[in-house]
Amino acid sequence: MFIRHPDVALTMIEDSCLVEDAEVRLRFSGDSAMLCAAVFDAIEKVGSVEEIASQTGYSIASVNSLLDMLSSEDFVLNASFGEMTDARSAIERVRSAGRFWNKHVMCQRFPLSLFGAHAIRDQVLGWGIEFYIFVRAAREYMARGASRIDGPTASLGGLWSHFAEEAFHDEIFRRGLIRCGLSEGNINNRVPLPSTMGLLNHLWEAAEGGELQYASVFALMQPLSEPATSESIVDKYRFLKKSYPFASPLFEAFQTHDGIDVDLGHSHLSIEPLMRDRGMLSAHEMQSIFKSIRRTSDCFDMFFSGIQSYYGNELSVSYRQVPTVGGAILASGERVH
């Protein structure tokens, strides 16, 4: 089974075939263009390479060669597994899945707007508020996920350390928001948007599901095979601080946090030690990991969409009523006695 990236487009122009996303464009000509168009169409209709070759009339070698090329650009994800997968291959496959779905999340409207310097003031500050709530929640879902007692200490130790290192990073973002002019009362009493709560519920459920399911959610958040450099972090946030000067303290907080993560080695997959300990992973385990990564992607899409929808004016940033039973009854039109 292969999955076409949701944000990749294929266009036929005369005898050429263009396959592209926001960052990469591949051009195929002549027979290669016909091969690409046929295979791209067949990917979601049939499962295996053999079936794709049979349906399109091309050789297995030609189909494999094209799929390898498309996979290298994260245009296609191979979600087929043999009965058992060795740890080394499994780690590479999981990293590919994390990168594939992370790319999808970052192709959505709000991330493109935010990091392309097109977001409005209230959305930028709203992003800071909801991200702060997301980071604060690590003390709950990461505590649950790290509380495993079954398995070798060497493998589980990474989960414990990850939780200990992230547990109080929310204070970095809280200080950044206060320096942007938000009051402590506003931040401390803020409840998450329903879309943010949906993401946090998913992370808690993953933490409840077991160590592999819990650790798999971080594959989406740790897509880089190599850690970011100090220079790239500085350049990224220099651009954002220049684009959104009113939120410069907030992006200073992000820059500080990114630097801490690099120093702590958080670009490494949290799931990697667990997979190495197993040595071999079953098709069921690999499918469960891939499904968890995909669900995490869907929840981050919802998270970003909620920010864009809700934070449209100054009042959405400066005030949000804490929900109460009385407020819920009033909202439904009932009289409170």
In the chain (337 residues long), the average pLDDT of successive 10-residue segments reads 92 92 91 93 86 93 94 93 95 94 94 95 96 92 78 74 77 95 89 95 92 91 74 92 96 91 69 91 96 97 96 84 53 46
pLDDT for residue 324:
57
Cα separation of 80 and 99, whole Å? 17
pLDDT for residue 59:
94
pLDDT for residue 23:
87
317 and 129 in contact (C-beta within 8 Å)?
yes
Structure tokens belonging to residue 189: 């009493």
Cα separation of 154 and 133, whole Å? 31
What is this structure's pTM?
Answer: 0.87
CA geometry: angle 144, 149, 153, nearest 5 deg = 115
Give the list of residues 6+ apart from residue 249 with CB closer than 8 angstroms, or none: 175, 176, 177, 179, 180
pLDDT for residue 210:
85
Structure tokens belonging to residue 152: 């070798």
pLDDT for residue 336:
42
